[in-house]
Amino acid sequence: MRIVIHGFGRIGRVILRQILTDPAHADIEVVAVNDLAQPDTCAYLFKYDSVFGPLPGGVTYEDGRLHAGQRRIPLLTGVRMGDLPLNRIDLVLDCTGATKDRTTVEAALSAGAKSVLISGPSDIADITIVKGANEDRIGDAKVVSNASCTTNALAPLLRDLDARFGLIQGHMTTIHCYTGSQPMVDAPRGPDLARNRAGAVSMVPTTTSAAELIDHVLPDLAGRVTGAAVRVPAISVSAVDLVVRLARPPADAANALRDLADANPVIGRVEDPCVSVDMRARTESLVIAPNETLQTGDQLRIFGWYDNEWGFSARMLDVARMMHIRA
């Protein structure tokens, strides 16, 4: 599979790190990486990572290319998506978070790319796909959204809960690490006033797109699940705290969740009393903690962890492979 990574921020860099360090991705050829930042800065931020540590084997930038192990990857600066080297490219991974115009992705398709996968919620995508929830609907879509990290954590769990026990209604709170959308010191960033406060020193109540996206990904559950978020002073790994009412509640909820996790390849579980740092670089979309389960009648509380960068990037690569197979 031949790909171009368009946007070399947090997700773009983590995707490339997974490609370079996981032998399962040895068949992926990265034809080019493109970003707005200067190449030497991109190389430095790829070599040294505050969350995942230095890249094994190191990386240098020479002659317009990233040199990492045996790979020599052209590193481009500020090239528009339609002007990228897209001849015989299977997929563009759009990791900019800034593509809002359908003509932009159409230009990439016209330039030779077979398809485009967008790393976040998108109104211009043909469809939003979450592995473990609705991948059977991918069809021959050329422009796909990979939803959000929280939607990837929540949707497979909701699908399986509904199939096994009948979901009446639910509410999810994501306890989410701070991100680049928040300031490090109090500063104006937008209409959500709390999100203008320093992200690394306070818990910040805010909204999440996951509840709305669930209605698109799992239309059978539309209107039955609400959601909210609290941004917290952690640099990586987030959590889902979900309360649901079930039509057929299990007799032993914790063991039922163990069975659910074991049957779904994108859901893991952890039995030890862990904290968020223990979940760093887990590839699952969600890691359920069965021992945190609480049950009262038909009401069930479920808690799970997700690495909002590493797990989401792993799903990007999974969906990229689905799109390649169907191209």
Tokens of 123: 């109104």
C-alpha 35/C-alpha 6 separation (Å) is 7
- Would you please indicate which residues are annotated as catalytic (active-site) residues? 149
Task: Tell me if 107 sits within 8 A of 133, measured CB to CB.
Answer: no
Task: Tell me if 90 sits within 8 A of 327, measured CB to CB.
Answer: yes
pLDDT for residue 326: 84
Tens of pLDDT along 8-48? Answer: 999 999 999 999 999 999 999 999 999 999 999 999 999 99
Closest CA relative to residue 116, chosen from 137, 145, 74, 140: 145
Tens of pLDDT along 242-275? Answer: 999 999 999 999 999 999 999 999 999 999 999 9
User: Could you say which residues of the chain have pLDDT below 70?
Assistant: none
Single pTM value for the model: 0.97
Burial, 246: exposed, middle or buried (Cβ in 10 Å; 0-12, 13-18, 19+)? buried
Which residue segments constitute the domains of the chain, with CATH numbers given? 2-119 (3.40.50.720), 149-309 (3.30.360.10)
